């Protein structure tokens, strides 16, 4: 409540619709509702009072006339009764010996009818308004006259009829408007879904720009952007693959020439370098080949994870993992398997045992791979993602690979809209590498 008083607009915002459709509808509905209520209240309340006043005056006039006639010529009673019944819609009954109570019932005092009767009927009177009829009693010589007339004579029906018409037609047009509005919002919603899928590296069906000009423009710009990005990506990959491939031939030639040279320390060193270079090229080629071409499809993460664990490079190392049923994701299964394998291979290579866990929350799905190895110092957690970067500067092939594993893993995670996070493993002392994927 305090918050509401201090920030009324912010607090109100929490209750307002969030979607474009809801907001547009509210913008349409709010003025309509206000105009109708104000006009109904100001104009028709006034008008209705006037109409009721006039009708009350007519009834009072009719009653006063009959009462006056009765008091002057009581012997002509049946004639007035006849006149009142046929022309004034007043049924008249004479009740002898009865008197009028001195005060009116509380709820009828000061109503329009009371005011009108007071003005025109000069004898004591009383009246009662039932759901169907109005019964007025007035004192005359020797008894009272009771007049009964339909309630319709006092209350005009047009007011409620008017309200019903206005509300009914407004509701109808609002329904029509909301249908049109829904169609206007549809292309925007589709664009949002496509953009979301694109960000997560999933494919989406091609669609035509539709709807309002602005939305069409945004859709066109988005589709153009997607095509340009696609082109850029394939171009980059093609170039990379081309360079790596072309370098292979001279490298092979060098390796052959080295093999034919007489053995020496220099030749041995050179041979190691050539070996490392060809390993790097292989890694590059694998990276370039795998990316971009694969299509996303619904994949059971549990099966994918088991597959990655079973295909690890060092099957003799223990992997602790309790199989759970995991969600199905729309991903590139080959690429994602490679990403997971890189993390698992690292953990197995630099540690003795591997622990794998999965976490699910509202926005993200996480697979964490932990080991009991030396871990990665905090200041190096960014650097290890660089291509060919290794913590061990000797680049000894026995202690590590070419240094592309994490680069590739991050690239794959990001192409799925996700991320690779590195942190020290609290439980096992080594590294904790997590693959985080958005839902």
Ligand X SMILES: Nc1ncnc2c1ncn2[C@@H]1O[C@H](COP(=O)(O)OP(=O)(O)OP(=O)(O)O)[C@@H](O)[C@H]1O
Q: Contact residues for Mg ion (CB under 5 A)?
A: 346, 401, 405
Shortest Å, Cβ 409 to Mg ion: 8
Q: How far is CA 174 from CA 24, 25, 26, 185, 216, in A?
A: 12, 8, 11, 16, 26
Instruction: Output 154 or 369, the one with its CB closest to Mg ion.
Output: 369
For residue 420, state whether it binds ligand X (rule: CB under 6 A). no
Among 165, 374, 414, 427, binds ligand X (CB under 6 A): 374
Give the Cα separation of 130 and 296 in Å (integer).
Answer: 75
Shortest Å, Cβ 353 to ligand X: 12
From the list ligand X, Mg ion, none, which binds 375 (C-beta under 5 to 8 Å, kind-based)? ligand X
Q: Are 373 and 347 in contact (CB under 8 A)?
A: yes
Give the Cα separation of 282 and 98 in Å (integer).
Answer: 119
Helix ranges restricted to H, 261-324 = 265-290, 301-310
For residue 392, state whether it binds ligand X (rule: CB under 6 A). yes
Instruction: Output 405 or 417, the one with its CB closest to ligand X.
Output: 405
Q: How many CA atoms lie less than 13 Å away from 260 in the CB half-sphere?
A: 5
Q: Among residue numbers 270 through 309, which ones bind ligand X (CB under 6 A)?
A: 283
Instruction: Output 92 or 368, the one with its CB closest to ligand X.
Output: 368
DSSP string, 36-101: HHHHIIIIIHHHHHHHHHHHHHHHHHHHHHHHHHHHH-GGGHHHHHHHHHHHS--EEEEEET----
Instruction: Output 373 or 417, the one with its CB closest to ligand X.
Output: 373
For residue 241, state whether it binds ligand X (rule: CB under 6 A). no
For residue 402, state whether it binds ligand X (rule: CB under 6 A). yes
How many residues sit close enough to ligand X to count as binding (CB under 6 A)?
25
Instruction: Output 400 or 438, the one with its CB closest to Mg ion.
Output: 400
Instruction: Output 138 or 431, the one with its CB closest to Mg ion.
Output: 431
Shortest Å, Cβ 346 to Mg ion: 4
For residue 382, state whether it binds ligand X (rule: CB under 6 A). no
* Collapsed DSSP state (helix, strand, coil) of residue 405: helix
383-391 long-range contacts, Cβ below 8 Å, gap at least 24? 384/422, 385/410, 385/420, 388/280
Among 403, 416, 420, 436, binds ligand X (CB under 6 A): 403
The dihedral of CA 98, 100, 102, 107: what is its sign?
Answer: positive
For residue 404, state whether it binds ligand X (rule: CB under 6 A). yes
The residue ranges that bind ligand X (CB under 6 A) are 283, 342, 346-347, 350, 371, 373-376, 384, 389-392, 400-407, 430-431
């Amino acid at each position: 409540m305090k918050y509401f008083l201090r920030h009324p607009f912010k607090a109100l915002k929490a209750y307002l619709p969030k979607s474009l459709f809801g907001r547009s509808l509210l913008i349409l509905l709010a003025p309509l509702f206000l105009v109708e209520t104000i006009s109904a209240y100001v104009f028709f309340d006034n008008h209705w009072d006037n109409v009721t006043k006039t009708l009350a005056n007519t009834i009072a006039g009719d009653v006063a006339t009959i009462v006056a006639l009765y008091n002057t010529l009581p012997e002509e009673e049946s004639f007035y009764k006849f006149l009142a019944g046929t022309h004034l819609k007043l049924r008249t009954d004479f009740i002898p010996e009865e008197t009028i109570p001195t005060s009116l019932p509380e709820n009828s005092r000061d109503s329009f009818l009371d005011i009108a009767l007071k003005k025109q009927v000069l004898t004591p009177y009383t009246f009662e308004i039932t759901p169907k009829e109005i019964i007025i009693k007035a004192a005359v010589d020797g008894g009272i006259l009771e007049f009964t007339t339909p309630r319709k004579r006092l209350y005009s029906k047009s007011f409620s009829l008017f309200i019903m018409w206005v509300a009914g037609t407004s509701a109808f047009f609002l329904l029509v408007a909301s249908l049109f509005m829904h169609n206007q919002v549809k292309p925007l919603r589709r664009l949002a879904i496509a953009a979301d899928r694109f960000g997560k590296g999933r494919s989406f069906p091609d669609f035509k720009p539709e709807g309002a000009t602005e939305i069409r423009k945004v859709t066109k710009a988005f589709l153009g952007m997607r095509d340009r990005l696609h082109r850029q990506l394939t171009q980059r990959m093609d170039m990379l693959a081309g360079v790596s491939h072309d370098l292979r031939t001279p490298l092979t030639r060098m390796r052959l020439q080295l093999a034919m040279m007489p053995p020496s320390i220099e030749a041995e060193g050179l041979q190691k370098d050539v070996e490392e270079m060809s390993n790097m090229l292989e890694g590059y080629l694998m990276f370039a080949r795998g990316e971009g071409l694969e299509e996303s499809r619904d994949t059971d993460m549990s099966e994918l994870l088991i597959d990655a664990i079973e295909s690890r490079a060092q099957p003799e190392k223990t992997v602790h993992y309790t199989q759970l049923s995991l969600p199905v994701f729309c991903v590139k299964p080959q690429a994602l398997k490679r990403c997971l394998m890189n993390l698992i291979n690292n953990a197995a290579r630099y540690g003795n045992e591997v622990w794998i866990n999965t976490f699910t929350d509202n926005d993200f799905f996480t697979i964490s791979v932990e080991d009991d190895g030396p871990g990665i110092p905090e200041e190096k957690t960014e650097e290890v993602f660089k291509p060919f970067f290794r913590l061990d500067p000797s680049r000894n092939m026995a202690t590590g690979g070419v240094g592309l594993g994490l680069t590739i893993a991050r690239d794959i995670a990001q192409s799925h809209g996700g991320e690779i996070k590195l942190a020290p493993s609290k439980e096992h002392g080594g590294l904790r590498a997590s693959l985080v994927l958005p839902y």
